[in-house]
Chains A and B, each alone.
Chain A
Amino acid sequence: MADRTKRSFLGNRAALTRARFIAGFLAAPVLLYLVYVISPYAQAFSIAMTDWRGVSAHPGFVGLANFERLLGDGVFWTAVRHNGLLLVLMPIGTLVIALFFAFLLNAGGATAASGVFGARFYRVVFFFPQGLAVAIVAVLFQQVFRPDGSGMLNAPLIALGLEPVGFLSDPGVALWSILGVLVWQAVGFYVVLFSAGMASIPRELYEAAEIDGAGRGRLFFRVTLPLLWDTVQVGWIYLGIAALDVFAIVWVMTAEHGGPDHATTVMAAEIYRNAFQYFKFGYASAMGVVLFFFTVAFAAVALRLSRRERVEF
C-alpha cells in the first residue's frame, strides 16, 4: 500500500519533470513560430486593410477597399490564371517525367528488378539542377533562350536558316518556356525521391509479376505506381504549392518582370511589384491574403482528392 503511494508519487513527479522538460523545449519554437510565422500572417491581414505606402508610421484604415479593387484588377487575374495553369501542368509534367526516369533507373534494366546501365551516375546528374540556386537557373536559361545567334537553342535554328523562336519575347511562347524551366529544375529532386520509394518495393514483387508475364508498362501501372502512391501524393502537394509560389524564375528571367506584356506574370510577382515598385503595401498585402487562401484551399482539396486506401506490403 505504502509502496504504491510512493510509486505513484514518484510517477507524478517524473511526469511533472517530463512535462516541464517538454514545455521548455516547446516554448522556444512556439515563440519563434508566433513571432516569425503567425504574426507576419496576421500583420498581412491588418495591413491589407490600410492604404500603407511603406514609409508612414500611421497608415489610414480603408476597410475592404483593397479587396474590392482587386476584383477589377485585370493583371492580377491574369496572374491568377497563369498560376492556375502552372498548378495543373507543372506537377503533372514533373511527376510524369520524374516517374518515367525513376522507373528507368530502378526497373528499366535487363531484368525488371534492375535499372538501366549507369543508373547511379544518372541519379546524380538528374539531381544536379537541384543544387543550383534559383537565380542562377534563371540567368542560365536567359542565355539558353537568347533570341539571337548567341542563344543555345536559337543558334542552330539560325544556322539552319530558320527564324529564331522568341522563347521569352513572344507572349504566346514565354509562359511555356517558364514552365519548361520550372519542370527542368524540379524533376531531379522527384527522380531521387521516387527512386528511393521504388528501391523499397520488394524485388520479389517485380520478379513475380514478370514471371506472370507482365510487360514493363503493366509492371509500372500495376506494381510500381500503386506502391508509390503516398510519395506521389506528397510530391503533388509540394509541387502544387511551389506552382502557387513561383516567383524568382519569373522575376529574374522575363522582360519587365512578368512580361512581355504580362504574358508570364504570377501572383507573387504582382505582390512584389505592388509592394516594392508601386509602394502600395496595403494593396499588395490584400493580394498576399488572397494567395494565402488559394494555397490553403489547394492543400485542402489536394489532400481530400488524393486520399485513398494504402496498399500494404
Chain B
Amino acid sequence: MADNSFTRRELLRAAALAGVLLPGGALAACASPGGGSGGPAPAATGATSAANPLGIAETSPFEVVIFDGGFGDAYAREVHEPLFAAEHPKATIKHTATKEIAKTLQPRFAGGNPPEFVNNSGDNAMDFGALAQDGQLQDLGALLDAPSWDDPAVKVRDTILPSAVELGTYDGTYCVLNYASTVWGIWYSTKLFGDNGWEPPETWDEFTALCEKIKKSGTCAPFTYAGKHPFYIYETILTLAAKIGGVAVLKNIDNLAEGAWKAEPVATAATAFADVGAKYLLRGTEGLDHIQTQTAHDKYQVAMLPCGSWLENEQKDTTPPGFGYAMFPLPSFSSADALPYGTLHSRPGEEFFVSARSANPRAGMEYMRAMLSKEGAGRFSEMVSTLTVVKGAAEGRTLKPGLRSAAARLKQAGENTTYFRFRQWYKELHDEAAAATGQLMAGRLPVAAWADRIQRKSDEIRNDSSVKKYTRS
C-alpha cells in the first residue's frame, strides 16, 4: 500500500477484503486466535526439598481462579489458601472468583496468559476436551507421585479414590483433579417418612407399591424430578440399567458402542421410569426446574426425588427444621440384577486443573497438594456439605444429616459404584439424551423411539472425525 493515490473508498474496500480473505489477518488480530506471542515463558521452578517436594519457586506469585457457584469461593479463601500460605509464606496468591469461567478465562488462554490454577466448573465452564486437545492442561503425574501433605511416607496417589485418577485422565495423562465426591440417590425426608410409617424401598416392586400408597394417602405426590433438566432422570435410568445389566452397559454407552442405547437393560430401565412418569409424578413436574421441585420437596408436597449429594447444601435456606434429609440407593429391579442392592452412582466431580502454559504451574500443583490434605479436604466437606475424593477426610468432622446418610450409603456400597462419562466427553450426546428423556417421561416418546434417537446421535458422533473420541475400559 505504498501508493498514496488510494481513494477513501478503495482503502475501505481493501481493508474489509483483507479481513475476509486473510484468516488471522491484521484486522482479525483483536479478538481472534493468533494474538499469542510465541511460546510460553519458561515456567518458574525452585529446588526440591522435604518441605517443597514439587520444587516450586518459593517467591513466585500465582493466581487461583474459583468458580463462584453452588460451593461459593469461601472454601478457597478460608481453607485452602491459608493452608498453602502457612507452608509457603513467601508466595503471593492472587485470588479471583467468577461466575463465568469461560468468558473470564478463554481470552487469556487464547492469548497465552492463563492463570495457574482453575476451578473449571458451572454452566459456563471451558470444554476439557478442547483444553486437552490444545495442550493447555498440566500433566499432574508429578503430583500423584509426590509425598502427601500429611504423611511423607504416603504418596498423594494413595490418599485419593482410584476413580478420581481414572476420571481425571485424558489421553493417558492425569491432568484434571476431580475434587468433590458426588453420591447420587433418591432423597427423602426422614420426618415425612417417619410420620407416615413409610420405609425406603429395596426392590422395584416395593418402590412402586410405596408410590401407590403415597398417591392413595393423598399426603403428597410420590415422586418428582427436575423436569426442566431431564439429566436428573436419565441419570437414574442409566444407573438402574447398570444395576440390571452390569457396568458394561455404561461402558458401552461411554465408548459410543453400536446399539449401546438399545441394549435390553437400558430399555427395561427406561420402561420402568416411563411408567413412574405416567403414574406417580408431582403435577407439572415436566415444567419445573431443580430448585422448584426441590422446594416442593422441602414443603412436603412430594415424597421423593433423585439428586446428587449437593442437594442438602443447595437447599439449606429453604429446608424446614427437622426435615431430616436422607437418601436411599436405587431399588433393585429383580433378583437377576447384575449388581447387588446398595449399588450407587458415585463419581468424583467438581474439576480443577493447572494450566500447562501458565507462568508458575508448579505452584498450582502444590496448591492441589494442599487441597488434598486431610485438613484441606475435611474442612471443605464441613463447609459445603460435600464429600471429597480424599479417603477418610470427612471422618471425625461434623456433618449434616443428608451428607451423613450419603456417606453411610457410600460406605455400604463399597466397590459397587457406577458412573458414566459421556456427559463430559460428548456434551451434544448429553443434550440429546436429556431432550429425548424429557419427552419419554412426559409420555410423548415411546421407549423404542427414545433409544433410537439417542443411538442415532451416538452413531453420528462416532462417525464424526472432527470430534475427539475417548474410551474407558
Contact assessment for A256 and B228 in the assembled complex, using a CB-CB cutoff below 8 Å: yes
A65–B466 alpha-carbon span in the complex (Å): 10
Question: Considering only CB atoms, which chain A residue lies closest to B226 in the complex?
Answer: A255
Determine the chain A residues whose CB is within 8 A of the CB of B112 once the complex forms: 57
Once A39-B28, A261-B438 are accepted as A-B contacts, the answer to whether A57 and B110 lie under 8 Å apart by CB is yes
Contact assessment for B435 and A261 in the assembled complex, using a CB-CB cutoff below 8 Å: yes
Contact assessment for B34 and A57 in the assembled complex, using a CB-CB cutoff below 8 Å: yes
Contact assessment for B32 and A46 in the assembled complex, using a CB-CB cutoff below 8 Å: yes
Contact assessment for A146 and B32 in the assembled complex, using a CB-CB cutoff below 8 Å: no
Q: Name the interface residues of A243-289: CB closer than 8 Å to any CB of B.
A: 255-256, 259-262, 273, 276-279
Q: Which of A34, A59, A158, A260 contacts B439 (CB 8 A)?
A: A260
Tell me, rounded to whole Å, the shortest Cβ–Cβ distance linking A250 to chain B: 14
Give the number of A-B contacts (CB < 8 Å): 149
Contact assessment for B28 and A169 in the assembled complex, using a CB-CB cutoff below 8 Å: no
Q: Which of B20, B22, B34, B124 contacts A276 (CB 8 A)?
A: B124
Determine the chain B residues whose CB is within 8 A of the CB of A171 once the complex forms: 439, 444
Contact assessment for B428 and A55 in the assembled complex, using a CB-CB cutoff below 8 Å: no
Contact assessment for A147 and B288 in the assembled complex, using a CB-CB cutoff below 8 Å: yes
Contact assessment for A39 and B284 in the assembled complex, using a CB-CB cutoff below 8 Å: no
Interface residues of B (CB under 8 A from A): 12, 15-16, 19-20, 22-25, 27-28, 30-36, 102, 106, 109-112, 124, 126-127, 129-131, 133-134, 136, 227-230, 282-289, 292, 296, 427-428, 431, 434-436, 438-439, 442, 444, 466
Determine the chain B residues whose CB is within 8 A of the CB of A184 once the complex forms: none
Contact assessment for A42 and B438 in the assembled complex, using a CB-CB cutoff below 8 Å: no
A65–B292 alpha-carbon span in the complex (Å): 43
Once A35-B30, A169-B287, A279-B130 are accepted as A-B contacts, the answer to whether A43 and B427 lie under 8 Å apart by CB is no
Determine the chain A residues whose CB is within 8 A of the CB of B36 once the complex forms: 57
A171–B445 alpha-carbon span in the complex (Å): 12
A39–B35 alpha-carbon span in the complex (Å): 15
Determine the chain B residues whose CB is within 8 A of the CB of A148 once the complex forms: 282-284, 287-288, 296
Give 7 A-B pairs besides A47-B23, A278-B428 with Cβ atoms closer than 8 angstroms.
A50-B23, A146-B284, A151-B284, A256-B230, A260-B286, A261-B439, A279-B129
Contact assessment for A59 and B438 in the assembled complex, using a CB-CB cutoff below 8 Å: no
Tell me, rounded to whole Å, the shortest Cβ–Cβ distance linking A260 to chain B: 5
Once A40-B31, A43-B28, A46-B22 are accepted as A-B contacts, the answer to whether A53 and B130 lie under 8 Å apart by CB is yes
Contact assessment for B442 and A278 in the assembled complex, using a CB-CB cutoff below 8 Å: no
Once A43-B28, A51-B466, A255-B227 are accepted as A-B contacts, the answer to whether A57 and B33 lie under 8 Å apart by CB is yes
Contact assessment for A147 and B438 in the assembled complex, using a CB-CB cutoff below 8 Å: no
Question: Considering only CB atoms, which chain A residue lies closest to B444 in the complex?
Answer: A171
Determine the chain A residues whose CB is within 8 A of the CB of B227 once the complex forms: 169, 255
A261–B36 alpha-carbon span in the complex (Å): 40
Tell me, rounded to whole Å, the shortest Cβ–Cβ distance linking A180 to chain B: 16
Which of B12, B130, B133 counts the most A-chain CB atoms under 10 A from its CB?
Answer: B130
Tell me, rounded to whole Å, the shortest Cβ–Cβ distance linking B270 to chain A: 16
Determine the chain B residues whose CB is within 8 A of the CB of A51 once the complex forms: 466
Contact assessment for A39 and B19 in the assembled complex, using a CB-CB cutoff below 8 Å: yes
Question: Considering only CB atoms, which chain B residue lies closest to A282 in the complex?
Answer: B466
Once A55-B134, A55-B136, A147-B286 are accepted as A-B contacts, the answer to whether A61 and B35 lie under 8 Å apart by CB is no
Interface size on A, residues (CB 8 A): 49
Once A38-B16, A42-B16, A147-B284 are accepted as A-B contacts, the answer to whether A259 and B435 lie under 8 Å apart by CB is yes
Determine the chain B residues whose CB is within 8 A of the CB of A194 once the complex forms: none
Determine the chain A residues whose CB is within 8 A of the CB of B229 once the complex forms: 255-256
Tell me if A93 is interfacial: C-beta within 8 Å of chain B.
no
Tell me if A168 is interfacial: C-beta within 8 Å of chain B.
yes
- A-B contacts, 23 of them at CB < 8 A, read A38-B15, A38-B19, A42-B27, A42-B28, A43-B31, A54-B106, A56-B110, A56-B130, A56-B134, A57-B34, A57-B112, A148-B287, A166-B286, A169-B228, A169-B284, A171-B439, A255-B287, A256-B431, A256-B438, A260-B286, A279-B126, A279-B127, A279-B130
The 7 closest A-B pairs by CB, nearest first: A42-B19, A147-B284, A147-B287, A169-B287, A148-B284, A53-B130, A46-B23
Tell me if A126 is interfacial: C-beta within 8 Å of chain B.
no
Determine the chain A residues whose CB is within 8 A of the CB of B466 once the complex forms: 51, 65
A148–B296 alpha-carbon span in the complex (Å): 11
Contact assessment for A255 and B228 in the assembled complex, using a CB-CB cutoff below 8 Å: yes
Tell me, rounded to whole Å, the shortest Cβ–Cβ distance linking A172 to chain B: 9
Determine the chain B residues whose CB is within 8 A of the CB of A151 once the complex forms: 284
Q: Which of B33, B129, B136, B296 contacts A59 (CB 8 A)?
A: B33
Contact assessment for B33 and A259 in the assembled complex, using a CB-CB cutoff below 8 Å: no
Determine the chain B residues whose CB is within 8 A of the CB of A80 once the complex forms: none
A278–B289 alpha-carbon span in the complex (Å): 22
Q: Name the interface residues of A24-57: CB closer than 8 Å to any CB of B.
A: 30, 34-35, 38-43, 45-47, 49-57
Determine the chain B residues whose CB is within 8 A of the CB of A255 once the complex forms: 227-229, 287, 289, 438
A262–B434 alpha-carbon span in the complex (Å): 11
Determine the chain A residues whose CB is within 8 A of the CB of B20 once the complex forms: 42, 45-46
Question: Considering only CB atoms, which chain B residue lies closest to A275 in the complex?
Answer: B102
Tell me, rounded to whole Å, the shortest Cβ–Cβ distance linking A274 to chain B: 9
Once A52-B33, A169-B287, A255-B287 are accepted as A-B contacts, the answer to whether A276 and B27 lie under 8 Å apart by CB is no
Once A49-B23, A54-B106, A278-B427 are accepted as A-B contacts, the answer to whether A164 and B134 lie under 8 Å apart by CB is no
Contact assessment for B438 and A260 in the assembled complex, using a CB-CB cutoff below 8 Å: yes
